[in-house]
Structure 1
């Protein structure tokens, strides 16, 4: 932080354009040259000012986030403390399918899924930081979802989600391991996770928790993005691009027979133009964008070519955001670029399964956010066509 973050005191000159109304760069109207942070707050332990004088004179504004910064600092130290982490031990499949899960909030879900009791707030924050990714998806797609027509899901959204839920919750077919129990299996449900970053490197036990919530189907997770294998080259060296594997996909199998994971270090529009995943089926496919930055000035140009292709598939697209402003900015950009060719599947709002742990931007000590704070969804507009049966009564009499 001392190398990258600048002092937020208003007497300094701005170092960049402000990205939101809450950005501290808005306050910088002075003539002093920018200075890196050096003075460490004695309460939160984070360097937040270039000097003690600036820290004291701007203490009132720092006090608004001081407690949160201290919590972030303690959580980071907790991960490196060497203690045992029972909150990272995950349960297997439900003992019986009749034992329904309760997806109203974190507490009811962890209890009904038979997680080990988490009685400490810090342990809860550590656990939810990982589980927020699969459970944010499940909370929208599950038949027991807390979101409904009364709570943020639109009429068009119910049509799309009903198609997916029809596949995710199939009726019992009497299948078994004997010859008499052989049944044809449906194709796996494909979840396209675009712009994948941290979510692609999550422990696979975390993603398998998604499959445990839908025990009668299989999943194919497809991570797509130029950063989807960042810092993982030693674990999975990128394979050469061959005629059999033209985009160098990394395929992981052996995940309990319920999940397959493919990773593409490329842009989605490149794969889409090559018809890599066509055809798309609203009963089996769904797109997920975790913190995509659709409307962010630094990344919106990367999505300008991808958005029309996403709308063309008519498949639901679930998006999350770091903050309410981040989410609303993405939504406004999509509405502007789609030019009326989109339907809202789920209205924007706070995610019930957001990460309870806060994160700090190392380049800005005042920028605090949490993973998947908000969630919303959209898809390409669908037009219903009726059969034309001729003109009115006068035309029929003429004939």
Structure 2
């Protein structure tokens, strides 16, 4: 999981796919019960019935450090809330890896039982959430049937979608009823990616220009252009010669720095097309890690004159969705003019947890952000926390100066993942996918005419 405290921002959680050997392997004929029952989901990580979770526990113990303030700092603190800020930079005990698992949450959090007990008050702030993470991870590997991962298809356009929150969205989109909080968390962990995009671009978006609606005047201008294309009027087309009508180009959504979102089941991304039934979409995943967790599709295609960047194209998903994946940095494609021309009516950039201002990844965006501003196309960005978003915004303003227009003020995303995730490099760092969302665009300058003097 990407860390807001200074760890590796490229480490995405593995929960996007059912673990190998669990869902695909039929249970023994003599065993009719699932691997784990709903009332038997809590297990200490090191004693988990899942081999994958036991390996994860070993990884945490080898890489995470004890947060007790008696130890010296193992790295520089990134913000005042960072547990490392409680430690001294000099003196004290040497940094020690975690080895003791909290009996309440089952996750390695301290180097010894004494340090865990001495610092229990601080650990208590996140202990319940860590226990929830523990049970959710075991639930994914329990062997049960997951009805929350069955998605509805098309629905008639007259049935309006209510985007007030997750409950109204799932109900109005005719999802199967989810009456369990854990099942809701599992469902939103995947759906947060397409629904976050749809909730901002849709004409019934909960984000408006009204008071505290977070949308700016410039944002209304940009989103109005996109919504004009996303919600076209009925053109009276038909199946005969007289009913032929010109078809607009597909809506291109460039997802930069793609990681685990590029490996989401395609049925999840199809949900985006159901929100805009009259429009075709072309999703473009770009980034050096855009093929992560897609081992079955290796080796990558060769780079040829007809496919100079080795794009992986999936154009048989549905008649309204095409997906292309480029294992390449965006600035390389931009310099080559691969996607030119850009159209503010048909193009949009999406950055999921990019870590623009994170010390470990900001250098990768140094060349890309000015190029994005040149296109004058809307750029939507999500973040793990409020601090993560503010750090990204400050870095963008520092990098490009006044050459950006804020389209959407930063704030909590109504369609964030309801499931919490754990950073294996720092168990104190918990966050949820797409917690917040904001947007910006390259500044547009209005031309003025000066009348000639008589």
Q: What CA distance in whole angstroms lies between the structure 2 residues aligned with 1:308 and 1:32? A: 45
Q: In structure 2, what is the equivalent of residue 68 of structure 1?
A: 129
| Contact 2:357/2:394, CA 8 A, preserved across alignment | yes
Structure 2 distance, partners of 1:58, 1:351, is 33
CA RMSD between the two structures? 0.9
Q: 1:37 is matched with which residue?
A: 98
1:216 alignment partner, one of 268, 278, 287:
278
How far residue 25 of structure 1 moved from its aligned partner, in angstroms, is 1.1
1:242 equivalenced with 2:301 (yes/no): no
Alignment of 1:160-309 (within 5 A): 160-309=222-371
- Distance in 1 (CA, whole Å) between partners of 2:404 and 2:164 is 29
Post-superposition offset of 1:13: 1.2
Q: Does the residue aligned with 2:204 lie in a helix, a strand or coil?
A: coil
Which of 217, 221, 234 is the aligned partner of 1:155?
217
Q: Which residue in 1 is equivalent to 2:160?
A: 100
3-state SS in 1 of match to 2:177: coil
| Per-residue deviation, 1:3 | 1.1
| Correspondence for 2:68 among 9, 26, 30 | 9
Query: Could you say which residue in structure 1 is the equivalent of 2:415?
Result: 353
Partner of residue 323, structure 1:
385
Question: After the TM superposition, which segments of 4 or more aligned residues of structure 1 sit over 3 Å from their partners?
Answer: none
Task: State how far apart, in whole Å, the 2-side matches of 1:21 and 1:178 are.
Answer: 67
Task: Indicate the residue corresponding to 2:48 in structure 1.
Answer: none
How far did residue 173 of structure 1 move? 0.4
SS of equivalent to 2:437? strand
* 3-state SS of 1:318 partner: strand
| Aligned-pair CA distance for 1:236 | 4.4
In 1, distance between residues paired with 2:441 and 2:75? 34
Give the TM-score, by structure 1 length. 0.97
Task: State the 1:180 CA deviation.
Answer: 2.8
Q: 1:83 aligns with which of 144, 159, 162?
A: 144
Out of 156, 177, 196, the position equivalent to 1:136 is 196
- SS of the aligned residue for 1:183 comes to coil
> Paired residue for 1:123?
183
Return the alpha-carbon distance in structure 1 between the equivalents of residues 165 and 299 of structure 2: 39
The 10-residue stretch of structure 1 (230-239 or 127-136) with the greater mean CA deviation from structure 2? 230-239
- Unaligned segments of structure 1, at least 5 residues: none
CA distance in 1, matches of 2:238, 2:199: 29
Deviation (angstroms), 1:237: 2.8
Cα shift readout 1:319-351 (whole Å, capped 9, x = no counterpart): 000011001100111111111010000000000
Q: What's the CA shift for 1:17?
A: 1.4
Asked whether the equivalents of residues 260 and 293 of structure 2 are also in contact (C-alpha less than 8 Å), the reply is no
Cα distance in structure 1, aligned partners of 2:357 and 2:338: 27
State the distance in 2 between where 1:21 and 1:360 align.
20
Deviation at 1:273, TM superposition (A): 0.1
**What SS does structure 1 have at the residue aligned with 2:297?**
coil
Tell me, yes or no, if structure 1 residue 18 matches structure 2 residue 77: yes
Q: Secondary structure at the match of 1:2?
A: helix
Q: Deviations over 1:226-281 (max 9, x none)?
A: 00002313224310000000000000011110100000000000000000001110
Q: Secondary structure at the match of 2:255?
A: strand
Superposed CA offset, 1:291-332 (max 9, x none): 000000111111010011001000000000001100110011
The CA distance in 1 between the partners of 2:63 and 2:157, in whole Å, is: 51
1:56 to 90, 114, 117: 117
Q: Tell me how far apart the structure 2 counterparts of residues 12 and 255 of structure 1 sit (CA, whole Å).
A: 53
Where 2:187 maps in the other structure, the secondary structure is helix
Give the length in aligned residue pairs.
391
